[in-house]
Structure 1
Amino acid sequence: MATLNNIAQNLQNKSIFITGCTGFLAKIFVEKILRVLPQVKRLYLLIRAPDAKSAKHRLDTQVISKELFRVLRTKHGDEFNSFISEKLCPVAGDMAVEDLGIQETHLKVVIMREVDIIVNVAATTTFDERYDIALNINALGADRLMAFAQRCHRLQMFLHVSTAYVCGSNSGLIMEKPIRIEETPNGESNLDIEKELQLVEKKLEELQARGVEKAEETAAMKELGLNRARSFGWPNSYAFTKAMGEMLIGESRRDLPLVIIRPTIIEATLADPFPGWIEGFRTAGSVIMSYAKGKLKCFPANAELPMDVIPADMVVNAMVVSMVVHSRQSASFIYHVGSSKQNPTSNSVLANCAYRYFSSNPVKGKDGRAISIDQPFFYTSMDNFRKYMNFYYNMPLQALRLANLALFNICGRLLKDLTRKYNFIMYLAELYEPYVFFDGRFDDSNTEGLRKAMKAGGMEEGWFNFDPKCINWEEYYMKVYYPGLVRYAMMQK
């Protein structure tokens, strides 16, 4: 590995091309670079937009205006806007089309001539996304970006953010190793990406020939993605298509330095730029807030299995350090950025802390009254959870449905509301089942080596800490994560 003298010196006057910057993680990455490493020359931000004006508008309204940039804005004061204009260049384009959809020829030439590092954070992270969309962005989009990278004259490395759950249904200790083309978690059949594309095209043609409405088409494409993912051993179309993205760029990179960062469950920032910042409800947040609002009375999860949470700022710190360590190295490197190996927390700690926090700081309902919650309990298998939901919720719903028919729809509104709540809980349970029953830990030997390289290079560890051993989980949940969910995620709804 290269020796680090100083991160700022290594990135001075470097230009970085970043995708996905309107998303949660990439925003934090951009803010960190601007605040801590202003010596960079320029950040080119690919933004899905039809033209430069629209791209600039999205940058201003969906990135720079966020509270995440409060510290940076205070730091620069009246000079903030001029600093942003100098350092950030929005690029109108689209990962879902060839050549990244960049229409401005001169800007494309400038990027190809000047960019030193490409950072791919673009993804559709919805677990049950339409298969055609997930495949086009998470897999083909990454491959299009790699093809673009091959045309950049002075490129020193390609950094790709994936997910640790590309391992699929595997358990035990999950190693930091590449995924080969045709390799599947269940090993039962070879994966052919070209055939998957043909399957998608055939399905779309069939649905369009039938003249189905958009909602039915979307439901069918979501179902196709989940079925295809699970047939190969992946939990959902997100992990499946991210795995295919890794396969494609691993094959097409040639001798371009490639770093793949595989985070686990990314949640609110631990410390940087301030504790608790989060945007929207992430993987664990959706379940926790359903519990806090009284919609979820129990947790379908093995209480003692690891819940592999990692704060978003630690992922960003690992990204920055890896950029410097592996610049100009004609090899590929894979890093798990998680907590289950070094400092595991569990489903029970997550849930019990939620009970303590939201009992003392209850969420208010639409009527303004505090919502009371019960001590959480766990169903250690989905079969038991389904039996519980069927007996206590679904069977009474069926009885109410019959009564409503006999009473000429007098209970129609109540029936609709209860049915919606029941379906939502079952949807959450099915969607997150592969994660709350995941019996694996992610080896981070490579990541530990990256931490040692950082220390050996004399870098200030406090600025770029990504060691999960420093996290006190109860303190993080009670003082950082849950307050952040309420302050930021709920306020954004």
Structure 2
Amino acid sequence: MVMVDGSLDAEKIAGYFKGKSILITGATGFLGKILVEKILRVQPDVRRIYLLVRAMDAHSAKQRVEAEVTDTELFCLLKEKHGKGGFELFVEEKVVPLAGDVVFENMGLDAPRLEELANEVDIIVNGAATTNFYERYDIALDVNVMGVKYLCQFAKKCANLKMLLHVSTAFAAGDREGLIMERPFKKGETLREGTYLDIDAELRLAGDVKKELERQDGGGGGDKTKRERKGMKELGLERSRHFGWSNTYVFTKAMGEMLLGQLHGAIPVVILRPSIITSILRDPLPGWMQGTRT
């Protein structure tokens, strides 16, 4: 990072993105779409921004990116600058929607597209996450842990990768008091003395409990779904608290960090741990935020 008078040098950061291709996951989320808008606004010479979104096909992915990202009021300054037609052309040239999901190996992309990305991507920003504090354990593990694993596997195939930026949370540190140092999690580290976290064992446990709940319910219809959901949510909270975390979200985000630390090898990695995020201060739309939960 370049510091000028105690602040980041915005011009040099913007310059860094010139000619770069960036893969962003979680772009339909609050932070993701802010990042997309900011890069397009301060560095129009970015080469490509690939947005991985959950969708059935390329057409659906394009529709979703338009509806949930580029057509939102957040892009007002860019629309003013380029005009309606110019803005659409600009976005079409710079933004590439990808139908996929981090919960699948190779992000659910076909081999030709994966090879194209591996040859072109310079930066990966992983913002994909389930942020529900009391998510089902199996779903939280899929997105917040396995998603990190699959993205890291892809990163190792990228010939020109400069950085993998992983968005975590400050609350992965748990409900501790006093000075908490910013350092990576060690393999097996927990917040409760006398326990050891085996991520593979947790993945197996979640799978086994889910199968057992399905077996017990048989053909239970809607009630079966509710019981299974309740059982998997309770399992997530139980395992989180067993190891010293307060909820499933912060626990699985800590696990994702831990897994990234084990797997990244020579890949340059940055882990970002934001705390509470509120509305935009100034550009492009003062006070903008996405929903009351944010």
The match for 1:248 among 259, 279, 293 is 259
Distance (whole Å) between structure 2 residues aligned to residue 55 and residue 74 of structure 1? 25
1:255 corresponds to which letter in structure 2? A
- CA deviation map 1:24-64 (0-9, x unaligned): 11010001001111121000111111211111111111111
TM-score under structure 2 length normalisation: 0.92
1:39 corresponds to which letter in structure 2? D
- The equivalent of 2:46 in structure 1 is 40
- The equivalent of 2:271 in structure 1 is 260
- CA deviation map 1:432-452 (0-9, x unaligned): xxxxxxxxxxxxxxxxxxxxx
By how many angstroms is 1:67 displaced?
1.2
Q: Is the 8 A contact 2:19 2:47 kept in 1?
A: yes
1:309-458 paired onto structure 2 within 5 Å: none
The match for 2:250 among 235, 239, 243 is 239
- CA deviation map 1:177-221 (0-9, x unaligned): 111111011223001111101110111111110125111111111
The match for 2:26 among 16, 20, 28 is 20
* Count of residue pairs the alignment pairs up: 282
- The equivalent of 1:87 in structure 2 is 94
2:228 corresponds to which letter in structure 1? E
Distance (whole Å) between structure 1 residues aligned to residue 290 and residue 80 of structure 2? 21
- CA deviation map 1:276-324 (0-9, x unaligned): 11112236xxxxxxxxxxxxxxxxxxxxxxxxxxxxxxxxxxxxxxxxx
Task: Give the secondary-structure state (helix, strand or coil) at the position aligned to 1:263.
Answer: coil
Distance (whole Å) between structure 1 residues aligned to residue 193 and residue 150 of structure 2? 28
- The equivalent of 1:360 in structure 2 is none
By how many angstroms is 1:173 displaced?
1.6
Q: Is the 8 A contact 1:118 1:158 kept in 2?
A: yes
Q: Is the 8 A contact 1:164 1:264 kept in 2?
A: yes
Determine if the alignment matches structure 1 residue 183 to structure 2 residue 194: no
Distance (whole Å) between structure 2 residues aligned to residue 272 and residue 216 of structure 1? 46
By how many angstroms is 1:73 displaced?
1.2
By how many angstroms is 1:2 displaced?
6.7
- The equivalent of 1:216 in structure 2 is 227
Q: Is the 8 A contact 1:169 1:186 kept in 2?
A: no
By how many angstroms is 1:12 displaced?
1.0
Distance (whole Å) between structure 2 residues aligned to residue 185 and residue 281 of structure 1? 31
Identity of aligned residues (%): 51
Task: Give the secondary-structure state (helix, strand or coil) at the position aligned to 1:18.
Answer: strand
- The equivalent of 2:109 in structure 1 is 102
TM-score under structure 1 length normalisation: 0.56
- CA deviation map 1:217-259 (0-9, x unaligned): 1111111101110111111100000000000111111111110
Task: Give the secondary-structure state (helix, strand or coil) at the position aligned to 1:155.
Answer: coil
Q: Is the 8 A contact 1:15 1:116 kept in 2?
A: yes
**Over aligned residues, Cα RMSD in angstroms?**
1.5
Q: Is the 8 A contact 2:14 2:39 kept in 1?
A: no
- The equivalent of 1:311 in structure 2 is none
1:243 corresponds to which letter in structure 2? A
Identify if the C-alpha distance between structure 1 residues 272 and 188 changes in structure 2 by more than 3 Å, giving closer, same or farther.
Answer: farther
Distance (whole Å) between structure 2 residues aligned to residue 67 and residue 269 of structure 1? 13
Determine if the alignment matches structure 1 residue 271 to structure 2 residue 271: no
Task: Give the secondary-structure state (helix, strand or coil) at the position aligned to 1:267.
Answer: coil
By how many angstroms is 1:171 displaced?
1.4
By how many angstroms is 1:106 displaced?
2.6
Segments of 5+ residues of structure 1 without an aligned counterpart are 284-493
1:260 corresponds to which letter in structure 2? I
- The equivalent of 1:468 in structure 2 is none
Task: Give the secondary-structure state (helix, strand or coil) at the position aligned to 1:282.
Answer: coil
By how many angstroms is 1:170 displaced?
1.6
Q: Is the 8 A contact 2:144 2:252 kept in 1?
A: yes
- CA deviation map 1:438-486 (0-9, x unaligned): xxxxxxxxxxxxxxxxxxxxxxxxxxxxxxxxxxxxxxxxxxxxxxxxx
Segments of 5+ residues of structure 2 without an aligned counterpart are 4-8
Distance (whole Å) between structure 2 residues aligned to residue 281 and residue 148 of structure 1? 35
By how many angstroms is 1:169 displaced?
2.4
Q: Is the 8 A contact 1:169 1:185 kept in 2?
A: no
